[in-house]
Protein backbone atom coordinates (compact mmCIF):
# COMPACT_ATOMS: atom_id res chain seq x y z
CA UNK A 1 0.00 0.00 0.00
CA UNK A 2 2.92 2.35 0.67
CA UNK A 3 3.92 1.85 -2.96
CA UNK A 4 0.69 3.50 -4.10
CA UNK A 5 1.34 6.53 -1.92
CA UNK A 6 4.88 6.74 -3.34
CA UNK A 7 3.59 6.58 -6.92
CA UNK A 8 1.32 9.55 -6.24
CA UNK A 9 4.01 11.36 -4.25
CA UNK A 10 1.99 11.89 -1.07
CA UNK A 11 2.62 10.93 2.54
CA UNK A 12 1.31 7.66 3.93
CA UNK A 13 -1.36 9.30 6.11
CA UNK A 14 -2.50 11.84 3.48
CA UNK A 15 -6.24 12.57 3.34
CA UNK A 16 -8.28 11.73 0.27
CA UNK A 17 -8.40 15.38 -0.87
CA UNK A 18 -4.60 15.52 -1.03
CA UNK A 19 -4.47 12.18 -2.86
CA UNK A 20 -7.01 13.50 -5.37
CA UNK A 21 -5.05 16.71 -5.91
CA UNK A 22 -1.79 14.78 -6.45
CA UNK A 23 -3.54 12.42 -8.88
CA UNK A 24 -4.89 15.29 -10.98
CA UNK A 25 -1.49 17.00 -11.07
CA UNK A 26 0.25 13.80 -12.19
CA UNK A 27 -2.36 13.13 -14.87
CA UNK A 28 -1.76 16.62 -16.27
CA UNK A 29 1.99 15.98 -16.37
CA UNK A 30 2.02 12.38 -17.63
CA UNK A 31 -0.92 12.32 -20.04
CA UNK A 32 0.16 10.57 -23.28
CA UNK A 33 -1.42 13.20 -25.52
CA UNK A 34 1.23 15.67 -24.36
CA UNK A 35 3.88 13.49 -26.04
CA UNK A 36 2.13 13.01 -29.38
CA UNK A 37 5.26 13.75 -31.43
CA UNK A 38 7.54 11.20 -29.76
CA UNK A 39 6.43 7.55 -29.67
CA UNK A 40 9.02 6.49 -27.09
CA UNK A 41 7.94 9.19 -24.62
CA UNK A 42 4.28 8.52 -25.35
CA UNK A 43 4.72 4.82 -24.51
CA UNK A 44 6.54 5.67 -21.27
CA UNK A 45 3.82 8.19 -20.34
CA UNK A 46 1.12 5.59 -21.00
CA UNK A 47 2.83 3.10 -18.68
CA UNK A 48 3.29 5.76 -16.02
CA UNK A 49 -0.36 6.85 -16.33
CA UNK A 50 -1.53 3.24 -15.92
CA UNK A 51 0.41 3.00 -12.65
CA UNK A 52 -0.96 6.38 -11.49
CA UNK A 53 -4.55 5.33 -12.25
CA UNK A 54 -4.11 2.01 -10.44
CA UNK A 55 -2.68 3.74 -7.37
CA UNK A 56 -5.46 6.34 -7.30
CA UNK A 57 -8.23 3.74 -7.70
CA UNK A 58 -6.82 1.62 -4.89
CA UNK A 59 -6.28 4.52 -2.48
CA UNK A 60 -9.67 6.01 -3.26
CA UNK A 61 -11.54 2.75 -2.70
CA UNK A 62 -9.49 2.07 0.44
CA UNK A 63 -10.25 5.57 1.79
CA UNK A 64 -13.97 5.24 1.01
CA UNK A 65 -14.09 1.80 2.68
CA UNK A 66 -12.33 3.08 5.78
CA UNK A 67 -14.65 6.09 5.97
CA UNK A 68 -17.67 3.80 5.73
CA UNK A 69 -16.48 1.59 8.56
CA UNK A 70 -15.42 4.52 10.74
CA UNK A 71 -18.65 6.45 10.29
CA UNK A 72 -21.15 7.01 13.06
CA UNK A 73 -23.43 4.12 13.96
CA UNK A 74 -26.94 4.27 12.46
CA UNK A 75 -29.59 6.06 14.51
CA UNK A 76 -31.67 4.10 16.98
CA UNK A 77 -35.05 2.79 15.87
CA UNK A 78 -36.96 5.37 17.91
CA UNK A 79 -35.17 8.29 16.21
CA UNK A 80 -37.26 9.70 13.43
CA UNK A 81 -35.72 11.51 10.50
CA UNK A 82 -37.91 13.83 8.50
CA UNK A 83 -36.74 13.37 4.93
CA UNK A 84 -39.43 15.64 3.58
CA UNK A 85 -41.74 14.88 0.73
CA UNK A 86 -39.60 12.61 -1.41
CA UNK A 87 -38.02 10.15 1.02
CA UNK A 88 -34.34 9.58 1.84
CA UNK A 89 -31.69 10.48 -0.72
CA UNK A 90 -30.68 7.70 -3.08
CA UNK A 91 -27.00 6.95 -2.49
CA UNK A 92 -26.94 3.80 -4.63
CA UNK A 93 -26.60 5.75 -7.87
CA UNK A 94 -23.90 8.30 -7.05
CA UNK A 95 -22.34 8.01 -10.51
CA UNK A 96 -25.56 9.12 -12.18
CA UNK A 97 -25.94 11.94 -9.65
CA UNK A 98 -22.56 13.37 -10.59
CA UNK A 99 -23.46 13.01 -14.25
CA UNK A 100 -26.54 15.16 -13.57
CA UNK A 101 -24.63 17.76 -11.55
CA UNK A 102 -25.69 16.37 -8.17
CA UNK A 103 -29.41 16.21 -8.83
CA UNK A 104 -31.25 13.00 -8.14
CA UNK A 105 -34.58 11.92 -9.56
CA UNK A 106 -36.51 13.25 -6.58
CA UNK A 107 -35.49 16.80 -7.41
CA UNK A 108 -37.17 16.52 -10.81
CA UNK A 109 -40.53 15.23 -9.54
CA UNK A 110 -42.16 18.61 -8.80
CA UNK A 111 -41.24 19.85 -12.27
CA UNK A 112 -42.66 16.71 -13.84
CA UNK A 113 -46.02 17.19 -12.12
CA UNK A 114 -46.04 20.90 -12.94
CA UNK A 115 -45.39 20.07 -16.60
CA UNK A 116 -48.15 17.45 -16.56
CA UNK A 117 -50.60 19.94 -15.06
CA UNK A 118 -49.63 22.54 -17.65
CA UNK A 119 -50.13 20.02 -20.46
CA UNK A 120 -53.59 19.04 -19.21
CA UNK A 121 -54.64 22.68 -18.88
CA UNK A 122 -53.48 23.37 -22.45
CA UNK A 123 -55.38 20.30 -23.69
CA UNK A 124 -58.62 21.50 -22.07
CA UNK A 125 -58.22 24.99 -23.51
CA UNK A 126 -57.52 23.65 -27.00
CA UNK A 127 -60.48 21.27 -26.81
CA UNK A 128 -62.86 24.11 -25.94
CA UNK A 129 -61.46 26.29 -28.71
CA UNK A 130 -61.71 23.64 -31.41
CA UNK A 131 -64.86 21.81 -30.34
CA UNK A 132 -66.92 24.64 -28.86
CA UNK A 133 -68.65 24.70 -25.52
CA UNK A 134 -69.42 21.48 -23.80
CA UNK A 135 -72.94 20.20 -23.13
CA UNK A 136 -72.34 20.87 -19.44
CA UNK A 137 -71.81 24.59 -19.99
CA UNK A 138 -74.28 26.56 -17.82
CA UNK A 139 -73.81 30.04 -19.19
CA UNK A 140 -77.08 32.04 -19.56
CA UNK A 141 -76.25 33.53 -22.96
CA UNK A 142 -77.45 30.33 -24.63
CA UNK A 143 -81.05 30.73 -23.35
CA UNK A 144 -83.74 31.90 -25.85
CA UNK A 145 -85.03 35.47 -25.76
CA UNK A 146 -88.07 36.05 -23.51
CA UNK A 147 -91.50 35.89 -25.29
CA UNK A 148 -93.85 38.91 -25.04
CA UNK A 149 -97.41 38.04 -24.12
CA UNK A 150 -100.44 39.87 -25.56
CA UNK A 151 -103.42 40.36 -23.29
CA UNK A 152 -106.86 39.64 -24.77
CA UNK A 153 -108.90 41.04 -21.88
CA UNK A 154 -110.63 44.36 -22.31
CA UNK A 155 -109.20 47.27 -20.44
CA UNK A 156 -111.48 49.91 -18.88
CA UNK A 157 -110.12 52.63 -21.14
CA UNK A 158 -110.95 50.81 -24.36
CA UNK A 159 -114.72 50.55 -23.53
CA UNK A 160 -115.23 54.32 -23.40
CA UNK A 161 -114.59 54.84 -27.02
pLDDT in tens, 138-157: 665 555 566 677 666 666 66
Share of the chain above pLDDT 90, in %: 24
What does the alpha-carbon distance between residue 125 and residue 60 come to, in Å, rounded to a whole number? 56
pLDDT at 32 over 80: yes
What does the alpha-carbon distance between residue 103 and residue 94 come to, in Å, rounded to a whole number? 10
**DSSP E strands, the chain:** none
Helices within 9-93 (DSSP H only): 16-30, 39-70
CB 26 within 8 A of CB 52: yes
pTM: 0.43
Amino acid sequence: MRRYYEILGVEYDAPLSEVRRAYRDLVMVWHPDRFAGNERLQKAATEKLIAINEAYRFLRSHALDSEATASDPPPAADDTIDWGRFGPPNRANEASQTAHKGRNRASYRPWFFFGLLLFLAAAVILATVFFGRSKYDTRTSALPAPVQTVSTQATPDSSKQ
